[in-house]
């Protein structure tokens, strides 16, 4: 009787991996240039398995862990690669408050990078989905190409919203997430109102 060698399928092998990290890159924007903290890290962890990442100080161990948990500062860190946990992509997870703030349906699939000059910060958003088709003037959506809005940090968001309405603007109440809200000025320009703590954090991380 011949023995038969059973080779598990590629899908079956992949399903045993609880965490998979593939070609992870983490870069930080600083005043002295780009710091390449992690370059091309790949590893996997099976269910029930314990894995230790060993390296000298400054080799990127902590940064890698923070990137996997999505705890790196959005304003200064950019992450590239593929990280999946139990089959779900971690780097492209959607944030419910972001959906609400941007008035877009999930999944957003967006990543952000920032250009900073002094206290001026330009936020560039990349969306996985295509933007709306061009056409006559209409209310724009946040995943279209181009400058979509202006962000301002103010001392008192409710008081500022009251002034917006007093001067003929509109407060988009459905975007209120407690720490930020969108308003539309009388000319139709979208303006994101953020607390002063946000501007202070940006300055501290510069």
Residue 44 CA to residue 160 CA, distance in Å, equals 49
> How far is 41 from 192, CA to CA, in rounded Å?
36
| Per-residue model confidence as pLDDT tens digits over 63-111 | 888 888 777 766 567 788 888 887 777 776 555 666 777 777 765 666 6
User: What's the confidence (pLDDT) of residue 114?
Assistant: 62
Sequential DSSP letters for 78-112: EEEEEEEETTEESTT---HHHHHHHT-PSP--EEE
pLDDT tens column, 104-114: 776 566 666 66
DSSP, collapsed to helix, strand or coil, labels residue 182 as strand
d(C-alpha 178, C-alpha 183), whole Å:
14
Q: What is the Cα–Cα distance from 160 to 167, expressed in whole angstroms?
A: 11
- pTM, entire model: 0.43
Q: Which of 65, 88, 3, 76 has the alpha carbon at shortest distance from 35?
A: 76
Q: Write down the mean pLDDT value for the chain.
A: 75
Residue 11 has pLDDT above 50, yes or no: no
Residue 8 has pLDDT above 50, yes or no: no
In order of their start, the domains of the chain are 14-89 (no CATH), 97-136+144-205 (3.10.180)
């Amino acid at each position: 009787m011949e023995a038969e060698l059973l080779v598990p399928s590629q899908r079956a092998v992949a399903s045993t991996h609880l965490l998979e990290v593939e070609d992870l890159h983490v870069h930080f924007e600083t005043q002295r240039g780009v710091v390449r903290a992690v370059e091309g890290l790949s590893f996997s962890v099976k269910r029930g398995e314990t894995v230790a990442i060993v390296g000298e100080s400054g080799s990127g161990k902590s940064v890698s862990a923070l990137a996997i948990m999505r705890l790196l500062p959005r304003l200064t860190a950019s992450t590239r690669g593929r990280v999946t946990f139990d089959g779900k992509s971690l780097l492209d997870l959607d944030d419910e408050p972001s959906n609400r703030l941007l008035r877009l349906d999930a999944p957003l699939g967006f990543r952000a990078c920032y250009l900073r000059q002094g206290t001026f910060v330009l936020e560039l958003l990349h969306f996985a989905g295509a933007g709306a088709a061009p056409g006559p003037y209409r209310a724009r959506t946040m995943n279209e190409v181009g400058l979509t809005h202006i962000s301002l940090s103010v001392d008192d968001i409710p008081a500022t919203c009251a002034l917006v309405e007093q001067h003929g603007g509109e407060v988009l109440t459905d975007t209120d997430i407690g720490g930020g809200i969108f308003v539309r000025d009388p000319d139709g320009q979208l303006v994101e109102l953020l607390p002063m703590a946000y501007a202070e954090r940006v300055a501290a991380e510069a």
